[in-house]
Structure 1
Amino acid sequence: MPQSDDQSPVRMGLTELLLVRHGESQGNVAATMARQAGAHVIEVPARDADVELSATGREQALALGRLFADYPEEQRSAAVWSSPYVRARQTAELAVKTGGWQAGILIDERLRDRELGILDMLTSAGVEARLPEEAARRRWLGKFYYRPPGGESWADVVLRLRSLLLDLERQPGADRVTLVCHDALILLFRYILEGLTEPEILDIAATSTVLNASLTRFVRPDGAGPWILESFNMADHLVSEGVPVTEHAGDANVHPR
């Protein structure tokens, strides 16, 4: 272990963060169908926290686990943290079990998806038709700072992710950590870890859809200093096994205007 000038031990921090978006959920399918049909309301089968993986989502989680099984022991995460939402927990459980990892799964509510408040279950068309003043406010503020009544802005989510990262740094013996969460959170981890600006993260959000069961990897070999984005939104493990790669995009109108 590295020593400081006074010969006292210096604890190494995190060296790798592996970010996983959950597999395709029944809610993803319902939301895409509603948008394509021009519907105002998304017919989700349960409240957001209880929406399960689709059959395709389960296939994706199992394919992720088979990829994990190929990781050498020294490259496996010492800890796996998951959003408490069912679709993320199911992804984490299937992947860890299939991969034969010994890491326990820790549930943390700070990894939950962004809360939409009054906009919950509405498509963009539904917001425009039923809540035109909110639609106008969302356009004016942009996605980063717009907070729907009863919900969260992206800036609000950033605050809880910063808190989580501090706690991860304090975990003893966990230099590699896997986080299973949601698409907006993976983008906002990029905002924090890369030191991006609001326009920069919104540009990424407008042009990139985080794929279901995709991998995004940050590394920091010395356990300190700036993070390096090694890979973003990788789904090769799905393609190689013939598992469907699913793309469920959110609202692309993210910039303030």
Structure 2
Amino acid sequence: MPSTITAVRHGQSESNVAFARAEADGVAVVLTGLDEDVPLTLFGRGQATALGRRLAEGEAPEVVWCSPYLRAVQTWELAAAHLDASPEVRLDARLGDRRMGRLAGMNLAAIRESFPEEADRLLRSEHTYRAPDGESFSDVADRVREVVAAMRAECAGRRVLVVAHDTVVLMFKHVIEGIPLDSVVVFAPVLNASLSVWRGSRPEIFNDDAHLRDITV
């Protein structure tokens, strides 16, 4: 078993900003392009840099498991610039963001316009909802469960850092601590560039963003 598992969400991405702006304006938005290719914003890059400084204050990770999505890779690369160590880095597709299938790139207002029945289903039970050709929380949890099992088998006694996405970090809490899915959702949202640490199955901190208070970009 790893000595610690530290999970971080990527910094603010361009899609995060677009969805937040659309939500504030009460308008529908459908983003184009692949979700995997969405980059960090300038502010998100500042968050990743602050994260690197926070990680440098403690013991450096010995192994990094990173989502292959651009925003996660950028977060790791910017954070890594502040670490003296050069840990082993693995890109693992199982750490990718929750796939939304035919609803990909849509905010809730856009889903209501194009797929009103799906919007109703989503609002009734977000943690059990599976979009057409997409994933539920349980599906993401299955991926995370595989990753945690691999970490326990391959990284015994080592410090592991995970760089991934909000739902993925939430599912780490579900898998490691054994919290039911319908209960773990109360810990959302997982904040951009926040830090969560487990020692064995015991959480030390979760969703901590104290290092992000004085970001300058």
Taking structure 1 as the reference length, what is the TM-score of the superposition? 0.79
Matched with 1:110 is: 94
Question: Which of the numbers 159, 163, 167 marks the counterpart of 1:176?
Answer: 159
Q: Which residue number in structure 1 is paired with residue 15 of structure 2?
A: 27
Matched, 1:147 2:119: no
**Partner SS state of residue 170, structure 1:** helix
- Label 1:137 to 1:43 Cα distance change in 2 as closer, same or farther (>3 A): closer
Q: What corresponds to 1:218 in structure 2?
A: 198
Larger helix proportion of the pair:
2
CA distance in 2, matches of 1:42, 1:101: 41
Task: Report the Cα offset of residue 193 of structure 1.
Answer: 1.2
Distance in 1 (CA, whole Å) between partners of 2:119 and 2:179 is 26
**Cα distance in 2 between the residues matched to 1:114 and 1:104:** 25
- Of the structure 1 ranges 107-116 and 29-38, higher mean CA displacement relative to structure 2 is found in 29-38
The 1:172/1:211 distance shift into structure 2, 3 A limit, reads closer
1:79-118 counterparts in 2 under 5 A?
Answer: 79-118=63-102
CA displacement, residues 107-137 of structure 1 (integer Å, 9 cap, x when unaligned): 0000000001111121111112211111222
Instruction: Name the structure 2 match of 1:243.
Output: 215
Specify the structure having the higher radius of gyration (Cα).
1
Q: Kindly tell me: are residues 172 and 196 of structure 1, through their superposed partners in 2, closer, same or farther at Cα, counting changes over 3 Å?
A: closer
| Residue type of the alignment partner of 1:81 | W
Please tell me the residue identity of whatever aligns with 2:215: V
Q: Which residue of 2 aligns with 1:10?
A: none
- Give the number of equivalent residue pairs: 216
Q: Distance in 1 between matches of 2:190 and 2:144?
A: 18
Q: What SS does the corresponding residue of 2:82 show, helix, strand or coil? A: helix
Match of 1:159 in 2: 142
Deviation at 1:98, TM superposition (A): 2.0
TM-score w.r.t. the length of structure 2 is 0.93
8 A contact 1:78–1:174 mirrored in 2: no
Q: Distance in 2 between matches of 1:169 and 1:61?
A: 27
Equivalent residue, structure 1, for 2:55: 68
1:89, CA displacement in angstroms? 0.3
Conserved? CA contact 1:67–1:99, under 8 Å: no
Q: Which residue of the partner structure matches residue 53 of structure 1? A: 40
Name which structure has the greater RCO, CA cutoff 8 Å, separation 6+.
Answer: 2
CA distance in 2, matches of 1:137, 1:212: 27
User: What SS does the corresponding residue of 1:218 show, helix, strand or coil?
Assistant: strand
Q: How far 1:67 moved relative to its partner? A: 2.0
Assess, with a 3 A threshold, how the Cα gap between structure 1 residues 138 and 43 changes in structure 2: closer, same or farther. closer
C-alpha contact (below 8 Å) 2:2/2:156 kept by paired residues: no
Q: Give per-residue Cα distances to partners, 1:21-68, cap 9 Å, x unaligned.
A: 101111111111111122212445x42100001000111111111222
1:49 maps to a residue whose letter is: E
CA distance in 2, matches of 1:190, 1:59: 26
